[in-house]
Amino acid sequence: MWLVCCLISTLVACTAQDPQQPPATAKPAPGVGAAGAGDPYYPTDGNGGYDATSYRVEVRYNPQTRRLAGTSTMTAEATQTLQRFNLDLRTLTVGEVEVDAQPARFGHRGSELTITPAKPLAKGSTFTVRVRYGGQPSREAKSGVGQLGWLTKRSGAVYALGEPHSASFWYPVNETPRDPASFELIAHVPEGWTAVSIGRRGKTSSGDGWTTFRWKESTAIPSYLTTLAIDKFDIRQSKLSSGVPVVDAFAPGAEDKKALASRLDEVVRFLSSRFGSYPQKSAGGIYLDVDIPFALETNGRPTYAPWVSLSVIVHEYAHQWFGNSVLLTSWSDICLNECLASYAEWLWAEAEEGADLDTRYQAEVEIASADLWSSKLYDMGRGHEFDGVYDKGALAMHALRAEVGDKTFDKILTEWAAKKRHRNATWPEFERHVERVSGKDLDGFFDAWFRGTEKPAERYLYPGRLSK
Ligand SMILES: [Zn+2]
């Protein structure tokens, strides 16, 4: 994610509050899947007792009536005996649930859809859950990052976007980065409209005044990286020089972004040279003409607002390694995504635009406000995940590079991306990785920069060549 509010001084406004979250749930009874996946900040996000492997979501959406009708099928493995388990789904009305093709009882309260299969599921068994649902999707009450969820335009166009929440606004899901899964979308929209999503584009077909679009992401990814965008898009297809298929979608009014979009191959080649081979199977971008306050790294096909720049594209593409391939475990690990993606912008500026990063660092440290220093980069507290990770995060990564040296820093990033490719990771694991690769005890450095709420002491602020 790249927040436009990070351009302005009110960093405290960059928060992601979720006022509707109920309190943490108690330990569930035997045979009952937990109603939360264990995130300390969002305890009711996601669910326990199963491991989702794939989602197949089929939706029909009419921009005139603004009504969605969906059928989703989740395939999962039971990680315990399950008499009952939950999925996350907001607002929409559930009509019918089947588990392994047998009707199942269900209850829907708040964002928790509780399902009781006809027969308990044995630990280790693979099962499918089919949910028929519909209604008018909603959005989250306004938060610091803007509205999340199902964003609609007056024209009828819609965009399902948000971090940490978005998927549960339009399909039933285990909404936690701890349970990545593959994703397939079949979307029926009235003729003249186009439905764009992540992954590879499948066949388009039409009949009875409707057009069907198919998209498939075979890599297991967290649900906040899935999306659905329905608009009258101008679609451009091409390939990266590596052969990866590219689909760019330009909403009406965003056609002027085509020149910018054409620089994607250059960006991916640069990032691949720094972080290792491109970890996704598709590429491109969704260019909107609606002024959302963030860009989001929707998998292999980030979503951009009208203020998109090359730097924003570099940032969202860096996430294809850090965030979309190396997956965070808890939202307190967000620096794994954002500090690294923000610093990728610096690396691009240095290599491609001739920026002197030491000078830039010194200048930014000099003007940094107390607000900037007070933001923690790890364990920052719910609602404060995005406060410091962009600006202070990039400074911290530059200080780390000076502390360990350029060569070691490059090795740290490429080895991290390779070791954790398509796996969950935590910030403390990254710290141990840095110490192992550099051979240095960096406890003081990490405490000062990532856990501290004050300007780091001189030796951490100006390490290595920065001390001159
Ligand atoms: Zn980001």
For residues 106 and 27, what is the distance between their CA atoms, to the nearest angstrom?
20
Determine the Cα–Cα distance for residues 462 and 468; give it in Å rounded to an integer: 8
Distance 316 CA to ligand 1 centre (A): 6
| CB-based contact 10:300 (threshold 8 Å) | no
CA of 317 to the centre of ligand 1 (A): 9
pLDDT digit string (tens) for 331-382? 999 999 999 999 999 999 999 999 999 999 999 999 999 999 999 999 999 9
Return phi, psi of residue 249, to 5°: -125, 125
Q: For the domain covering 235-308, report its CATH number.
A: 3.30.2010.30
CB-based burial of residue 277 (10 Å sphere; 0-12 exposed, 13-18 middle, 19+ buried)? exposed
Structure confidence by residue, pLDDT tens digits, 296-344: 999 999 999 999 999 999 999 999 999 999 999 999 999 999 999 999 9
CA of 342 to the centre of ligand 1 (A): 7
At residue 29 the predicted structure's pLDDT band, cuts being 50, 70 and 90, is confident
Helices 406-419 and 264-275 cross at an angle (nearest 10°) of 100
- Give 68 or 22, the one with higher predicted confidence: 68
100 C-alpha to ligand 1 centroid (Å) = 38
pLDDT value at position 27?
74
- What is the CA(3)–ligand 1 centre distance, in A? 8
Q: Where are the domains of the chain?
A: 7-232, 235-308, 326-466
**Is pLDDT at 211 greater than 50 in this prediction?**
yes
**Tell me, what's the pLDDT at 62?**
96
Q: Is the dihedral of CA 410, 283, 46, 157 positive or negative?
A: positive
Evaluate whether the domain defined by 7-232 bears CATH number 2.60.40.1730.
yes
* Signed CA dihedral, 145, 70, 61, 236: sign only: positive
Q: How many angstroms is it from 135 CA to the middle of ligand 1?
A: 31
R_g (Cα) of the chain, nearest Å: 22
Considering only CA atoms, which of 407, 390, 251 is closest in space to residue 318? 390
- The tens digit of pLDDT for each residue in 59-88 reads 999 999 999 999 999 999 999 999 999 999
pLDDT at 144 over 80: no
Ligand 1 center–CA 450 separation, angstroms = 17
- Smallest Cα–Cα separation from 415: which of 440, 403, 432, 398? 432
Q: Please state, for a pLDDT cut of 90, what percent of the chain lies above it.
A: 90
Per CATH, domain 326-466 is 1.10.390.10: yes
Where is average pLDDT lowest: 15-19, 244-248, 397-401, 454-458?
Answer: 15-19
Task: Tell how far the Cα of 63 is from the centroid of ligand 1, in angstroms.
Answer: 30
Average model confidence (pLDDT) across the chain: 93
The lowest-confidence range among 8-12, 217-221, 368-372, 381-385 is 8-12
180 vs 293, residue with greater confidence? 180
Q: What percentage of the chain carries pLDDT values higher than 70?
A: 94
Separation of CA 297 and ligand 1 centre (Å): 7
Q: Which pTM value belongs to this model?
A: 0.94
